[in-house]
Amino acid sequence: MALLEVEDLRVSFNTPDGVVQAVRGVSYDIEAGKTLGIVGESGSGKSVSTQTIMGLTKGAQVTGRAVFEGQDLLTASPDQMRAIRGAKIGMIFQDPLSSLHPYYTVGWQIVEMIRLHDDMSKDQAMKRAVELLRLVGIPQPDRRVNDYPHQFSGGMRQRAMIAMAMALNPAVLIADEPTTALDVTVQAQVLRVIRRMQEVFGTAVILITHDLGVVADVADDVLVMYGGKVLERADRRTLFFASHHPYTEGLLQSMPSYGGERGRLRPIPGQPPSLLAPPPGCPFAPRCVYVMDKCAEMPSLDPVGSGDLGHLSACWLPHNEADREAVRRRVAHVELAKSAGPAGA
């Protein structure tokens, strides 16, 4: 049984410009010990969807269900949420400097967090904080525990955030762009800490990122979001080698391929959509090369292929590999004719 199950989550915000429909019907589930990667560009709704589950989107209109341990998080009382947030579902944010309080020592902040949920003395909590910092690779943790956040480097702050998020051994860890602000070398360190924690404790991790490389490295399953919707869900191998949705295909093609041929990149033309009054139908249609009349209607997220691999895609393109290849070839032909004419934009 899934540890966390999100069903048809919809989130919208009232803004001076109108209602922004940030998340428009997102469903997923995650099991213990697994890592679910959520990829998408800015404005795809990937962060909002998880923040809503944690009750961190004040003033939003939310519908849907998010069931964790038999309890719907979206209808839980503030008191119930307080007991879950941090203790059972931990969070790591992108920017570790603004998530740590500059006036208090790192140790104090971890202790506060532990004592809020667990009944233990300050000394005991401090001891645990030191152990946690040691665990995430902070050198001389007994000394550094008394440092202020500004005395830590970026990577150390992020590791301190992980220590804090892991302090109560949560069942689910939501990591929202945990390594985006870090150098690749430090990113590798941080990802490794998360992975080791997961191996030891069987934590379920939801990893939100825009970096497909990180996803290829650590995710078991991947959710591709765009315009507030899930367009594709697959295990990482299927996603990278046999994706179905044209948006996923476009994302993969626009990356400078590692070890691949040089030459021109193939970007997705156009811009991500505005979520103020988005038109009905597939949000990717305006940028899609395979667009057809049917796309004015949003396709449902349906299984692709034969096996029960959990590969889902929301696209009208044939689900059968051979038929899809035929469509691809036809479109590639048209594209070629177009580019042979006047140089494309």
Partner 1 sequence: MATGPVSETDPAPAAAAADGDDVLLRADNLVKYFPIKGTGLFREKEYVHAVDGVSLSIRRGQTFGIVGETGCGKSTLARCVARLHDVTSGRIVFDGQDITKLSQRAMRPLRREIQMIFQDPIGSLNPRRRVGSIIGDPFAIHKLAAGSERKRRVQELMERVGLNPEHFNRFPAEFSGGQRQRIGVARALAFQPKLIICDEPVSALDVSVQAQVINLLADLQTDFGLTYIFIAHDLSVVRHVSNSIGVMYLGKVTEVAPAEELFTVPRHPYTGALLSAVPVPNPELSDQRQQIILAGDVPSPVAPPSGCRFHPRCPKAAPVCVAEDPPLEPRLGDGPEHPAACHLPMAEGENLAEFRPSISEKERVVEVEGSLLPEGAEPEHIADALPARGEGGTP
- Contacts of partner 1 in 253-272 (CB under 8 A): 254-259, 262, 264-269, 271-272
Backbone Cα Rg of the chain: 22
Minimum distance from residue 197 beta carbon to partner 1 (Å): 8
Residue 210 within binding range of partner 1, rule CB under 8 A? yes
Tell me how far apart the alpha carbons of residues 67 and 190 are, in angstroms, rounded to a whole number: 29
Q: Which residue stretch of 95-103, 187-195, 297-305, 310-318 sits at the interface with partner 1 (rule: CB under 8 A)?
A: 187-195
Q: Which residue stretch of 54-62, 95-103, 130-138, 311-319 sits at the interface with partner 1 (rule: CB under 8 A)?
A: 130-138
Report the residue number, 229 or 236, with the smaller CB distance to partner 1.
Answer: 236
Residue 164 within binding range of partner 1, rule CB under 8 A? no
Nearest to 251 by CA among 275, 277, 216: 216
Q: Which residue stretch of 56-64, 91-99, 128-136, 296-304 sits at the interface with partner 1 (rule: CB under 8 A)?
A: 128-136
Residue 197 DSSP label: H
Site size toward partner 1 (CB under 8 A) is 73
**What's the number of CA atoms in the CB half-sphere (13 Å) around residue 72?**
9
Binding mask 75-104 for partner 1 (x = CB under 8 A): -------xxx--xx----------------
Tell me how far apart the alpha carbons of residues 10 and 61 are, in angstroms, rounded to a whole number: 8
Residue of 122, 237, 330, 333 interacting with partner 1 (CB under 8 A)? 237
Minimum distance from residue 323 beta carbon to partner 1 (Å): 26
Report the residue number, 83 or 277, with the smaller CB distance to partner 1.
Answer: 83
User: Edge-to-edge strands of the sheet including 18-30?
Assistant: 18-30, 4-15, 61-68, 71-72
Residue 272 DSSP label: P
Residue 37 makes CB contacts below 8 A (sequence gap 6+) with 207, 208, 209, 214, 215, 218, 219, 221, 222, 223, 236
Residue of 15, 16, 42, 59 interacting with partner 1 (CB under 8 A)? 42
Minimum distance from residue 118 beta carbon to partner 1 (Å): 5
Minimum distance from residue 135 beta carbon to partner 1 (Å): 5
Nearest to 122 by CA among 133, 132, 110: 110
Name the maximum alpha-carbon separation found in the chain. Answer: 75
Residue of 192, 294, 333, 338 interacting with partner 1 (CB under 8 A)? 192
